[in-house]
Structure 1
Amino acid sequence: MTVGERIKKIRQDNAISQTDLANACKISKQTLYKYENNIITNIPSDKIELIADYLSVSPALIMGWEDKEQAVPLPQTNVFMRPVYDSISAGFGVIAQDVPVDYMPTYITCPSEQDKYIWINVHGDSMSPLIDDGSKILVKKQPSVDSGQIAAVLVDDEEAVVKKVLYNDNTVELHSVNPYYPPRVFKNNDVTRVQILGLVKEVSKSLQ
């Protein structure tokens, strides 16, 4: 069942009209119709939260991450639906394809900073075993990190990677956890080729 189909079923099960739900979520009835019939599939996270709140269910249920019969209520405080991107470049708007592929409920201690947090699907093993291929990382967008922290980094305005960042005198080093990958060292004027996009705050690994 799709996200739109779940919205429609829960709405109908609770005898709620499209008009009432649309008005409560500050969208048009036509937009809700497009949600429910999969014409619009990338539903904004704030609308998912409004729809879930009005239908008295969790956003995770709307997204299909929990079964209604076995649903465990999510914490009602400081949990926000944050977008998941399929590449670092997409998540930071480095390339044109910046549409989220999913949303994840995320606990954020400072609600005013929720828009700074995004999830990224990780491809490759350069940071394994700390961050395995297929993992998701939660990144807080910020322009700098401390030496030794793991960050999303842009190199030469085109290559976005996840690396441990080390600072020395006039030097920036990007280190992989996997020893198969040698460090990348940028010295003197070359340090300007490296731009910090955000700090990796959390890693979510699949158990399958």
Structure 2
Amino acid sequence: MSELGNKKIMSINIKKFMDKKGIDRNKLVDDLNLKYTTVSDWINGKTYPRIDKIEMLAKYFGVEKADLVEQTPDNIIPVTKTVKIPLLGEIACGDPILAEENIEEYIDEPVNYLPSGTCFYLRAKGNSMKPTIPNGAKVLIRQQPDVEDNEIAAVLMTDSNEATLKRIKRADGTMFLMPDNPEYSPVLVNKDNPARILGKVIRMVIDF
């Protein structure tokens, strides 16, 4: 048994080769025609791929199977520091978004795996973003005032002070908040239904 568990080693190696290839989780899922939850479980170290899937991953990344399953010196990343990332609960009126009254708890995060800038967590509520983001998932957000089309953003509905997670689409100067679940309808942002982008979704954590 290696110093790190087998699932953890696989997780580290997959993320390493994703970084080298310059792809994200959605791209890996699409290219390999696999279920998002299956790939997420590998990346999060929750499950271990079957041998045929290891062979598929190795061929995709252009590496040997051993490069995925074995612990090597360059995949041992020391965690030198952690920071407390706030998990926002109900959003209080007004700015700033990270005011103490908005914070439900803090989550310790290794700085190695955080993007630059200010980050916070939101808990997904409801099923409008399934299967991409299930209800109850903790979603890491990088605070920024805008995102690219088709990216998932945390959006504050300013009339209700309710934060929601939706995919951003724009057409003819109008912004739409798009659910990934086809059972839900898009939300039109306009003067009668104002909203502002709080940040970009980076990743999620499922702890149930």
* TM-score (ref. length: structure 2): 0.53
The answer on whether the counterparts of 2:144 and 2:198 sit within 8 Å (CA) in structure 1 is: yes
The answer on whether the counterparts of 1:84 and 1:104 sit within 8 Å (CA) in structure 2 is: no
Please name the residue that 2:200 is paired with. Answer: 199
Please name the residue that 1:174 is paired with. Answer: 177
C-alpha offsets along residues 155-196 of structure 1, whole Å, 9 cap, x if unaligned? 234232110010111211111111111011235x568x2211
Q: Superposed, which structure 2 residues align to 1:6-21 within 5 Å?
A: none
Q: For the residues of structure 1 that align with 2:154 and 2:115, how far apart are their CA atoms?
A: 21
Residue 143 of structure 1 deviates from its aligned partner by 0.5
Larger Rg: 1
Gaps of 5+ in 1: 1-72
C-alpha offsets along residues 61-114 of structure 1, whole Å, 9 cap, x if unaligned? xxxxxxxxxxxx983346433122234x2696388832332323142243xx2x
Moved over 6 A (4+): none
What's the Cα RMSD here? 2.9
Give secondary structure in 2 for the equivalent of 1:125.
coil
Q: For the residues of structure 1 that align with 2:86 and 2:100, how far apart are their CA atoms?
A: 16
- The amino acid across from 1:180 in the alignment is E
The answer on whether the counterparts of 1:92 and 1:98 sit within 8 Å (CA) in structure 2 is: no
TM-aligned CA distance change 1:75 to 1:85, over 3 Å: farther
Q: Superposed, which structure 2 residues align to 1:37-116 within 5 Å?
A: 75-77=78-80, 79-87=82-90, 89=91, 93=97, 97-106=101-110, 107-110=113-116, 113=117, 116=118
Gaps of 5+ in 2: 1-75
Q: For the residues of structure 1 that align with 2:136 and 2:179, how far apart are their CA atoms?
A: 16
Give secondary structure in 1 for the equivalent of 2:108.
strand
TM-aligned CA distance change 1:134 to 1:74, over 3 Å: farther
* TM-score (ref. length: structure 1): 0.53
TM-aligned CA distance change 1:135 to 1:120, over 3 Å: same
Q: Superposed, which structure 2 residues align to 1:106-145 within 5 Å?
A: 106=110, 107-110=113-116, 113=117, 116-145=118-147
The answer on whether the counterparts of 2:84 and 2:106 sit within 8 Å (CA) in structure 1 is: no
- The amino acid across from 1:152 in the alignment is A
TM-aligned CA distance change 1:94 to 1:183, over 3 Å: farther
Q: For the residues of structure 2 that align with 1:118 and 1:131, how far apart are their CA atoms?
A: 16
- The amino acid across from 2:203 in the alignment is E
Residues paired across the two proteins, number = 128
Give secondary structure in 2 for the equivalent of 1:201.
strand
Q: For the residues of structure 1 that align with 2:115 and 2:179, how far apart are their CA atoms?
A: 29
Residue 127 of structure 1 deviates from its aligned partner by 0.7
TM-aligned CA distance change 1:109 to 1:156, over 3 Å: closer
